[in-house]
Structure 1
Amino acid sequence: MRTRPLKVALLGCGVVGSKVARIMTTHAADLAARIGAPVELAGVAVRRPDKVREGIDPALVTTDATALVKRGDIDVVVEVIGGIEPARTLITTAFAHGASVVSANKALIAQDGAALHAAADEHGKDLYYEAAVAGAIPLIRPLRESLAGDKVNRVLGIVNGTTNFILDAMDSTGAGYQEALDEATALGYAEADPTADVEGFDAAAKAAILAGIAFHTRVRLDDVYREGMTEVTAADFASAKEMGCTIKLLAICERAADGGSVTARVHPAMIPLSHPLANVREAYNAVFVESDAAGQLMFYGPGAGGSPTASAVLGDLVAVCRNRLGGATGPGESAYAALPVSPMGDVVTRYHISLDVADKPGVLAQVATVFAEHGVSIDTVRQSGKDGEASLVVVTHRASDAALGGTVEALRKLDTVRGVASIMRVEGE
């Protein structure tokens, strides 16, 4: 074993960073044995230097992150500060001054992954970011290494623990959205401002990363269709149960049947109770990967939190340090396929549409005619009502999102349709 330690600079020492530092200290001997050399925490960049950080030598703490990554003797920079800037500049500066980088920054990788990979390649350094997608769940390494010889066709899953906790609470207790969100906040599963989670921004960033790796194509955050879950109601869950389904916020990345394009989307969807994702409870994550040779693979576990995310960071740290010792680099960006990203209108799936209609003869025929005119085939219809008001629930066969959009627009113009109560995609069948 080499006796000179590999030096690690830590950018950020919050929930995740503090766990990374602690594990590096408490598991130092094991890490050294696995890497082939000891690792040394050489500096910790923070915003609040006066805060007490248990187990971290105050002499290592600095507010000058730029100076830390420019030192020249740093082997690996671990970035867990999040956001776009200054993280982007710090990472590219680290490459230029001889360090490889391990990051947990999903927003930055989704937005600027191509440029960061190019910077890493230019300087012959590694960029690893397993922790950016699903906490402790190994996803990136299996996709870009274990399945490197296979053709991945679909990635489907729950990649945000906060939203899954909220939807699971609504399903199991009958609570409304706000009540379930309040519970998630009280238990620490939701941030004070939960927008990034409940509006699907977090999941969309992860979908962009997964789609890019799975399909060897550059997929940016702006390419991902995003729809939040704040409009999901208890009535939607009641309707889902009548269909033998539940509702999950899903990230779905697909290769077109002809292989000529890809799509990436995040939105609430009904899935059958028989589907394994229907049984993913509380704040857990689970992702299906479907490929030609391996078939269906499922990855399941805690997708967030200090310790799970730190576990993924340390896994990357070990891999990058091994590469460093061997004078090599690991897999970089693979975008050779350069497939176009199709718009959401091209996506084909099933739909559940709930309409408030007048309770009088001929309404169903009018509605059915609109569906037929737009080429959307109806699978089932359920109608109930009294006192001149009625609810009409239509479940379609597979149709394009563009065709469904045109159908709904035409339905809104019918005098007999008082309103479109909800539109939900049906997946997993």
Structure 2
Amino acid sequence: MGVKLGILGLGTVGTGTVQLLQDSAGRHPLLQEIEIYRVGVRSLDKPRAVELSTEVLTTDLESIVNDPAVDIVVEVMGGLEPARSLILKALSNGKHVVTANKAAIARFGAEIFTTANQAGVYVMLEAAVGGGIPVIQPLKQSLSVNRIHTVTGIVNGTTNYILTRMQTEGSNFDDVLADAQRLGYAEADPTADVDGLDAADKIAILASLGFGGRINLQDVYTEGIRQVSKTDIAYAEKLGFVIKLLAIAKRDTPSSPLSVRVHPTLVPQAHPLASINGVYNAILVEGEPIGQVMFFGPGAGAGATASAVTSDILNLVAVLKTNTAVANPLLTCGHQEYCQIAPMAELITRFYARFLTNDQPGVIGKLGTCFGNYGVSLESIVQTGFQGELAEIVVVTHDVREGNFRQALAEIRDLEAIESIPSLLRVL
């Protein structure tokens, strides 16, 4: 008997998934067991890149999640509603769910996983983070014996593409964004990408798996790339860094609170993540005893995401075929407790700051004194040149508590010589 799929959505990812399932020659033999039973779409008469019979297509998405014949519901429609309601209904009806919806999982994960656990079914979400890169299953299974202490990722292809082009061309943010939108690498409304919201959803999911607890999305500090200028990219390069939008989850000791954050970061050129360019994603997991493991690949696109969706479907088909008791702890996300997230003021990190100052003697000395008053130790402080009448000074700190650094900056802002602080970035 075949395993019957109900697919919600036939956009880029849905189409890619159907194409992969229809072209199963030379792939895993279990793919032959899968029947595309129902596919929910918005409109029946839209031209499509895949051939499906009229009995398979329907605009009634509720009928799919309520159909007793459907074994697995594949949610690839995106958005929060009706995706959340349909996922919950499918689970309540005893159906396994495969989803690529990081926004719904990051916001409603607690509700979704609780419903799944109560119904004794699985929610699979490999495609929700990093496109086709297999990182969710490894965190649940292969790496689960490790004590993870850091998960650091470039998990948004749009922002990585923009920053890569700013770096290679010396262009400014607005021009590259407009071009990326024209080429289809950025959405007409790029907010979720360029303001870091998409990356925050993804790091919340990765942190939850890596550190075995639920993450409250409101606790994830999120800063996007709109403020990154070509000037800073050029200075970073001179100092031996590249600027990347990083999503970071870190725990210093097993008993300390987590730090979970998204922000543009100066990454040393020798670091494994420094060379990840264009629309590619990479996730670096550091743990004990394994050391460093990096997952790298295309972070979006029909083929990549369909690969992750279909591998999840295959996992579930294997479960259904072998009648494995549906309580495999390595496939579920069963933790109930919320992780304690440390406030940003407690974060220990390094900073890069750029100051525009009136050209008068002793400015560098005053800056040094203010920083010293708050225990901020400077690795370098250089006057880099002039912008019009104003002198430009760039500072890189040693490790410092963020709260102390902010206090020092508040005092520096009041100095008569300081015109403005155009940039403030963290350093890995």
Map of 2:401 onto structure 1:
400
Aligned ranges 1:103-182 → 2 under 5 Å: 103-182=99-178
Partners of 1:164 and 1:283 within 8 A in 2:
yes
Aligned ranges 1:405-424 → 2 under 5 Å: 405-424=406-425
Q: Report deviation, 1:256.
A: 2.8
Aligned ranges 1:198-213 → 2 under 5 Å: 198-213=194-209
Structure 2 residue matching 1:146: 3-state secondary structure: coil
Q: Post-superposition, which runs of at least 4 consecutive aligned residues in structure 1 deviate over 3 A?
A: 28-31, 336-339, 384-388
Question: How many residue pairs get matched?
Answer: 422
Q: Report deviation, 1:257.
A: 3.4
Alignment partner of 1:390 is 2:386: no
Q: Report deviation, 1:384.
A: 3.9
- Please give the per-residue CA displacement for 1:88-129, whole angstroms capped at 9, x wherever unaligned: 111111112221000000001011112111111111111000
Map of 1:339 onto structure 2:
339
Alignment partner of 1:194 is 2:190: yes
CA distance in 1: counterparts of 2:423 and 2:312, whole angstroms:
43
Partners of 2:148 and 2:288 within 8 A in 1:
yes
Alignment partner of 1:293 is 2:289: yes
2:246 aligned partner, one-letter code: L
List runs of 5+ in structure 1 lacking aligned partners.
Answer: none
Alignment partner of 1:27 is 2:24: yes
CA distance in 2: counterparts of 1:284 and 1:203, whole angstroms:
14
Instruction: Go from structure 1 to structure 2 and tell me whether the alpha carbon gap of 1:162 and 1:146 turns closer, same or farther (over 3 Å shift).
Output: same
Q: Report deviation, 1:334.
A: 4.2
CA distance in 1: counterparts of 2:116 and 2:126, whole angstroms:
16
Structure 2 residue matching 1:291: 3-state secondary structure: strand
Map of 1:251 onto structure 2:
247
> How large is the RMSD of aligned CA atoms in angstroms?
1.6
Map of 1:240 onto structure 2:
236
Map of 1:52 onto structure 2:
47
Partners of 1:284 and 1:302 within 8 A in 2:
yes
CA distance in 1: counterparts of 2:166 and 2:253, whole angstroms:
35
1:378 aligned partner, one-letter code: L
CA distance in 2: counterparts of 1:89 and 1:312, whole angstroms:
23
- Please give the per-residue CA displacement for 1:171-190, whole angstroms capped at 9, x wherever unaligned: 01111111211222222211
Give me the TM-score of the superposition, normalised by structure 2.
Answer: 0.95
Q: 1:265 aligns with which of 253, 261, 270?
A: 261
Partners of 1:28 and 1:39 within 8 A in 2:
no
- Please give the per-residue CA displacement for 1:265-322, whole angstroms capped at 9, x wherever unaligned: 1110111111121111111011110001110001100010111000000000000111
2:24 aligned partner, one-letter code: H
Map of 1:323 onto structure 2:
319
1:129 aligned partner, one-letter code: L
Partners of 1:347 and 1:400 within 8 A in 2:
yes
Q: Report deviation, 1:389.
A: 2.3
CA distance in 1: counterparts of 2:334 and 2:403, whole angstroms:
31
Alignment partner of 1:91 is 2:92: no
Structure 2 residue matching 1:421: 3-state secondary structure: strand
Q: Report deviation, 1:30.
A: 4.2
Map of 1:367 onto structure 2:
367
Return 335-344 or 61-70, whichever deviates more.
Answer: 335-344
CA distance in 1: counterparts of 2:410 and 2:104, whole angstroms:
36
1:147 aligned partner, one-letter code: L
- Please give the per-residue CA displacement for 1:160-200, whole angstroms capped at 9, x wherever unaligned: 11111110001011111112112222222111111111110
Map of 2:38 onto structure 1:
43
Partners of 1:19 and 1:307 within 8 A in 2:
yes
Map of 1:6 onto structure 2:
3
CA distance in 1: counterparts of 2:286 and 2:30, whole angstroms:
32
Instruction: Go from structure 1 to structure 2 and tell me whether the alpha carbon gap of 1:376 and 1:120 turns closer, same or farther (over 3 Å shift).
Output: same
List runs of 5+ in structure 2 lacking aligned partners.
Answer: none
Partners of 1:357 and 1:417 within 8 A in 2:
yes
CA distance in 2: counterparts of 1:208 and 1:233, whole angstroms:
27
Q: Report deviation, 1:52.
A: 2.3
2:39 aligned partner, one-letter code: V
Return 402-411 or 6-15, whichever deviates more.
Answer: 402-411
